[in-house]
Structure 1
Amino acid sequence: MDISHRQFNKNIRLKDKAGNPVADQEIRLVQTNHSFLFGCGAFDFIPYVMKGEEEYKDLTDKWLDVFNFGTLPFYWGNFEPKEGEPQTDVLMKTAGFLKEKNVTIKGHPLCWHTVCADWLMKYDNGTILKKQLERIDREVTGFKGVIDMWDVINEVVIMPIFDKYDNAITRICKEKGRVALIKEVFEKAHECNPEATLLLNDFNTSINYEILIDGCLNAGVPISAIGIQSHQHQGYWGKEKLEEVLERFSFFGLPIHFTENTLISGDIMPAHIVDLNDWQVDEWPSTPEGEERQAKEIEEMYRTLFSHPLVEAITTWDFRDGAWLNAPSGFVRKDNSLKPSYLMLRDLIKKEWHTDITVKTDSEGRIRVQGFKGEYSITANGQKTFADLTDNEDQTIVI
């Protein structure tokens, strides 16, 4: 698979602080972060940051050893269970901790019909929409500079016809229509943070999602990236389906994020289950053969997605087994021990897709280097500096 688009190949000229070339010196370049977003649900950081629970220190340390991109929960019904009392402090402290660790953070989601705030139901549709837009303003403005990426609205293909229970967001989506509601919430989010990365996110990868995206773009909705969920509790999609989905959604020319990926290491969920949430089990064990299968499937999936030029991010949904649906869906087991999938992915990111090179400058302080795009520490003659190396343009660095 061609991954040359993930690398830079460029001339760099090094100068000292006086402007003189750093001539005939050995230079070490060590990648400290990827431009590509290797992500995972970061919900486990909340109990660690807020309560210092010891079991979560080991868990979060292992998380940070692999990932540079985390998703935090902003489900309205949990974030603001009582109107006017949002859990802003909890999410701000957690996001601040992750940001200090050089982790890019995404908030998920700003608008969704599931886990919605029950107290919205007492209002008429006009007021519900007003409060939804106010909620977006509060979160996007309030977290600006800490969280600058959002799943703006979630699972809209099914939103107006969702009938498992009544909720405020389905009501307004049914009244306004999908595209009109998407346009309102995206425009508000963009107004509050014009530099933010704003995603439309859905599990439905059928032509219905393509039609929805097309309608949104024709209506001028400022979508930054297409979010594709890939919860595979009922079996791995396989390389052929992955490539088929990528081909169809590449039509729009927008960046693609695989926002919620799940591959399990136990028995596969029965195929007749339509809504994954309907599969409720007391025990869903991970097995040795399942763990080997999971590692192989995740490796193929990551290699396939990493090789596609429009894919910018992959987020695994559960870091530890048992998080959602009690599934063996994590990179670590319930006792925090590492699964083969964790070791495999860490090797991909930290070894195979990682750059650590030593080169010697010429008499003008120049070097020609190739490596994976990202952030680097650059050391010469005991001096160190840091630089972003993300393109093929010639670059001058002062050290």
Structure 2
Amino acid sequence: MDIVSSTVAAPAHRTGSAIVTVIGPDDEPLANRDVTIEQISHAFGFGNLGFDFVEHGTAGAEPWLRLFNQATLPFYWGTFEPRPGETRAARLHQVASWLVEQRVRVKGHPLVWHTLQPDWLMEVGGDEEVERRLRAHVRETVAGFADVIHLWDAINEAVIMPVFANGDNAITPLAAARGREYLIRLAFEEARAANPTATLVINDFDLSSDYERVIEEAIEDGVAIDAIGLQTHMHQGYRGEEQILSIVDRFARFGLPLQLTETTFLSGNLMPPEIEDLNDYQVDSWPTTPEGESRQADDIERHYRSLFGHPAVESITYWGFSDAGAWLGAPSGLVRADGSPKPSYDALDRLIRGEWWTAPTLVRTDDAGRVRIEGVAGSYRVAAGSAAAEFEFERGGDWSRTVVVRA
């Protein structure tokens, strides 16, 4: 029996093995036939923002699609519904549908947050009415996108939500009055009721023990958290594998999948270390530089290798594709403002589509129409002549199960 054996250097827990039996149109095994087997997507979530697709369309998306199989779309309430009843749902649904057609998993971000709230929400009345509107917003948003979005940041930055003074908004006072755990439960229960099959994430930049306690209390309170989001914006430099993995290990103790939801590295001057709130750093010009691009590529490769190597991590989302319109105006993209790829793009390409990718392989089936596969978990295609079929290849296989595909 021929073997499709990848030459990838992926960690063992990201790979699997199986026997694939190829069945022809006559329901008989395609014995002693040449077939091609190729990987078409990763099981691991390699994510990036899809904001530009909403604002500028999907033309020229090929470099983005080559690397990423997960997209985060903006659902900030203030921009989603700038006036009561007037939403961007139609445009967002259009983009989400297109992404799904491209085999991209879509994440909505976020359902509940105290920042970027609509001003009109402060005029609807007291906490009771704000809560009613918030519940309806979560429920209606998730239900309205249930056909294309099954992954949501249910609540964002709950640790500081009741106390953070970021300007007038209606959610901080509600969180102060009701308590953060109350809003966490609200977010998860309303979203779950609207789409019982959705994956719901709690997400935060505060990776201290305070966040651990918030998660502990929510779980003890019966909140069904599906995954834990960890933000790692590194505008002040790479924190290093030891520090990042120590954080991952602390949150892995909950036994829930970990999503690195917001990751950035700079390819220009680093932000000064004394800056506490990244939003406070304002400069007239923040260009990318050759030295910075080299550093960014090295940092990204180290970061992705270490996290792909940790079994608790299920996805990494890089926060921005291009320097054009990047958050804070920082040179944090993987491509320059003119669209040309930086060394960091090439570094990720070598990993995602090189080391961690099972190359197309021509093999011959045995007398029973079978081939063996050993490779990276994900979606695969088997082709025999003009006929083709797809199947999911799971990690952790041990040659014992048979996947039947009809080509």
> Per the alignment, in what secondary structure is the counterpart of residue 212 of structure 1?
helix
For residues 263 and 213 of structure 1, the distance between their equivalents in structure 2, rounded to whole angstroms, comes to 27
Q: Which amino acid aligns with 2:20?
A: I
Q: How does 1:74-223 map to 2 (within 5 A)?
A: 74-122=75-123, 123-223=125-225
Q: Which amino acid aligns with 2:298?
A: K
TM-superposed deviation, 1:2: 6.6
> Per the alignment, in what secondary structure is the counterpart of residue 163 of structure 1?
coil
TM-superposed deviation, 1:382: 3.8
Q: Deviations over 1:110-135 (max 9, x none)?
A: 11101011111122001111100100
For residues 277 and 115 of structure 2, the distance between their equivalents in structure 1, rounded to whole angstroms, comes to 13
Aligned to 2:290: 288
Matched, 1:15 2:23: yes
TM-superposed deviation, 1:3: 1.2
TM-superposed deviation, 1:297: 0.5
Q: Which amino acid aligns with 2:85?
A: G
TM-superposed deviation, 1:394: 2.2
Cα pair 1:106 1:151 within 8 Å, conserved: yes
The size of the alignment, in residue pairs, is 392
Aligned to 1:343: 346
State the percentage of identical aligned residues: 45
TM-superposed deviation, 1:373: 1.1
For residues 388 and 258 of structure 2, the distance between their equivalents in structure 1, rounded to whole angstroms, comes to 35
Q: Which structure carries more relative contact order (alpha carbon 8 Å, separation 6+)? A: 2
Aligned to 2:402: 394
Cα pair 2:20 2:402 within 8 Å, conserved: yes
For residues 66 and 179 of structure 1, the distance between their equivalents in structure 2, rounded to whole angstroms, comes to 37
For residues 253 and 314 of structure 1, the distance between their equivalents in structure 2, rounded to whole angstroms, comes to 18
Matched, 1:333 2:301: no
Aligned to 2:369: 365
Cα pair 1:25 1:381 within 8 Å, conserved: no
Matched, 1:263 2:265: yes
Q: Give the alignment partner of residue 380 of structure 2, picking from 371, 376, 379.
A: 376
Aligned to 2:301: 299
Cα pair 1:262 1:316 within 8 Å, conserved: yes
**TM-score when scaled to structure 2?**
0.94
> Per the alignment, in what secondary structure is the counterpart of residue 82 of structure 2?
coil
Aligned to 2:4: none
For residues 15 and 363 of structure 2, the distance between their equivalents in structure 1, rounded to whole angstroms, comes to 17
Aligned to 1:64: 65
Aligned to 2:326: 323
Q: List, as ranges, runs of 4+ consecutive aligned residues in structure 1 with deviation greater than 6 Å.
A: none
- Cα distance change on mapping 1:127 and 1:186 into 2, 3 Å: same
Matched, 1:6 2:14: yes
> Per the alignment, in what secondary structure is the counterpart of residue 257 of structure 1?
strand
Q: Which amino acid aligns with 1:338?
A: P
> Per the alignment, in what secondary structure is the counterpart of residue 161 of structure 1?
coil
Aligned to 1:245: 247
For residues 62 and 56 of structure 2, the distance between their equivalents in structure 1, rounded to whole angstroms, comes to 11
For residues 390 and 380 of structure 1, the distance between their equivalents in structure 2, rounded to whole angstroms, comes to 22
For residues 252 and 236 of structure 2, the distance between their equivalents in structure 1, rounded to whole angstroms, comes to 25
